[in-house]
Amino acid sequence: MAFKSLEEEAHLSIQRTAALLEHTFEAALKPHRITATQYNVLRILRGAEPDGLCRNEIGQRLVRQVPDVTRLLDRLEDAKLISRQRGAQDRRYVTTRITKAGLKLLEDVDGQICAIHREQLGHLNEEQLRALVSLLEAVRRQP
C-alpha cells in the first residue's frame, strides 16, 4: 500500500494499533457491562478518593472526550457505581465519588486488564516502552 507521506503512514499505523488495543480492552469489559469510557471514569474517581471530583474535572481527565459527561455519569449512577452529592454551600457544585460497588468492579477487572496490557505490550522491553510513551507524548504535544 502506497502512502502519500510518512506522516500519513504513521497516522494510520497509530489508528490501526489503537483499534487493535481497544478491541481487546472493550471485549474484556463487556461481561462487566461497562464501556472503556465508563471504566476510565471509575479509575479517575478511584484516584480521586476520598474527595471525589466535579463533572468538569472528570471530563477534563478522560482519555477520550465525550460530548455529554452528565449522561455518562447518569448511567454510572443508575448502575450504582458512582454517587453524586450537591454542595452544601453551593448547590450548583456536585461532587462525584466512586461507590463500594464501583471499587469492587475495578478490583474484579484490574488483574484481567493488567494481563491484557502484558499480552499486548509485554514483548517490548523497558527501553522500547519508554521510547514509545515518549514518542506518543510528543505527538500529543504538537506545536
Instruction: Please name the residues in contact with 14: beta carbons below 8 A apart, sequence gap of 6 or more.
Output: 139
CA–CA dist 96, 16 (Å, integer): 34
Q: What is the mean pLDDT of the segment spanning 13-19? A: 94
Whether 11 maps to a domain, the answer reads: yes
CA–CA dist 7, 60 (Å, integer): 28
| Number of domains observed in the structure of the chain | 1
The model's confidence at residue 86, banded by pLDDT at 50, 70 and 90, is confident
Whether 20 maps to a domain, the answer reads: yes
CATH of the domain at 74: 1.10.10.10
Whether 1 maps to a domain, the answer reads: no
Q: Which grid coordinates are listed for 5?
A: 507521506
Q: What percent of the chain has pLDDT over 90?
A: 84
How buried is 77 (Cβ within 10 angstroms: 0-12 exposed, 13-18 middle, 19+ buried)?
middle
- CA angle centred on 66, ends 65 and 70, rounded to 5°: 125
Range of the domain at 132: 6-140
- Which tens digit of pLDDT belongs to each residue from 38-73? 999 999 999 999 999 999 999 999 998 888 999 999
Q: What is the mean pLDDT of the segment spanning 133-137? A: 94
pLDDT at residue 2 tops 90: no
Whether 43 maps to a domain, the answer reads: yes
What per-residue confidence (pLDDT) applies to 1?
A: 62
